[in-house]
Amino acid sequence: MCDTDFDFSAIVQHAKDIVIVTKAYPLNDPGPEIVYVNEAFTEKMGYTPEEVIGKTPRILQKEGTNRNDLDKVRQALEKKESVRVTLRNFSKKGNEYWVDLSILPLPDKNGKVTHFAAIQRDISDYKKLEQDLQTLCRTDPLTTAANRRAFNEIISQEFSRFKRSQKEYALVMIDLDHFKSINDQHGHGTGDHVLIEVTERCKDNLRVHDIIARLGGEEFCILLPYTNQEQAQKVAERLRQKIEIMPIISEGKRIKVTISVGISLVAVGDVDGHDAIERADKKLLEAKSMGKNRVCA
């Protein structure tokens, strides 16, 4: 045995990680009682020890706490085993935070588990970085519309929903007319501004659950769930008019922009979600060949 003069209770009390000690019972409501919290808990969570001693750690949980993770914790506690999960908790003020949570059983001198120690390391910054990276992987960095990869996943899910419910959806394929000329005459910076502005005008005239994606270059596709042919044409024509009637201002220059649009609805005979995309693309090419600045369905 090591011969030390360390005060281990002081080390725990002043540790940077949150430490909570609870009784091992009851597991059913109201839950295990808290018997100890360290300074890191008070600093991070905003509760004084007096406010939480005798309460349950469940006061840190809200609707946003993952139920599967809580079930995993519950199973380990029932078996008096250690468990480690990533958990989303909430402070006294309601602020969200993420922790790497390790729970350890604490046996008495007879080997009976009477308490649990929960050690929580704040990983909120890491989770935010992870979420930001996920967003970057699914979002076009210029326009913030969905990117092609994300849109393919969304269409796959929407097609599966259609197969189950037979509730149709529409696709609106959009291409900016004469976009190469805009880049050539005004520069790529202005071209980028035009793409951003067109995306924003589309978003401003869509429903909350409609999704716009930039498929590449100046080509966009919009998913309109629960939409029939007549409704899709009205949406497409409204977008075409909104973009045509108001020039885009960039670096003091007024740039007239128009779009060509192709529409397609999902069909019972489609093999997958890409069949409707291909039809919308053909309609877009038809609009281009007929003189641009028009909607074809």
CA distance between the termini of the chain: 82
Instruction: Determine the pLDDT at residue 6.
Output: 52
Residues of the chain with pLDDT under 50: 1-2
How high is the pLDDT of residue 5? 53
Residue 1 is predicted with a pLDDT of 42
What tokens does 66 get?
A: 């993952």
Positions marked catalytic: 218
**pLDDT of the residue at 2:** 46
Name the token pair of 126.
């890491």
What is the pLDDT, as a whole number, of residue 136?
76
pLDDT at 32: 92
Tokens 């501004």 belong to which residue? 193
> Could you tell me which of 225, 245, 249, 247 has the C-alpha nearest to residue 237?
245
DSSP string, 28-75: STT-PPEEEE-HHHHHHH---HHHHTTS-GGGG--TTS-HHHHHHHHH
Chain-centroid distance of CA 171 in Å reads: 23
Q: Over the stretch 91-133, which tens digit does the pLDDT of each residue have? A: 999 998 899 999 999 999 999 999 999 999 999 888 888 777 7
pLDDT for the residue 29: 86
According to the model, what pLDDT value does residue 8 have? 67
Cβ atoms of residues 149 and 234 within 8 Å? no
DSSP, collapsed to helix, strand or coil, labels residue 109 as coil
Return the pLDDT at 128: 82
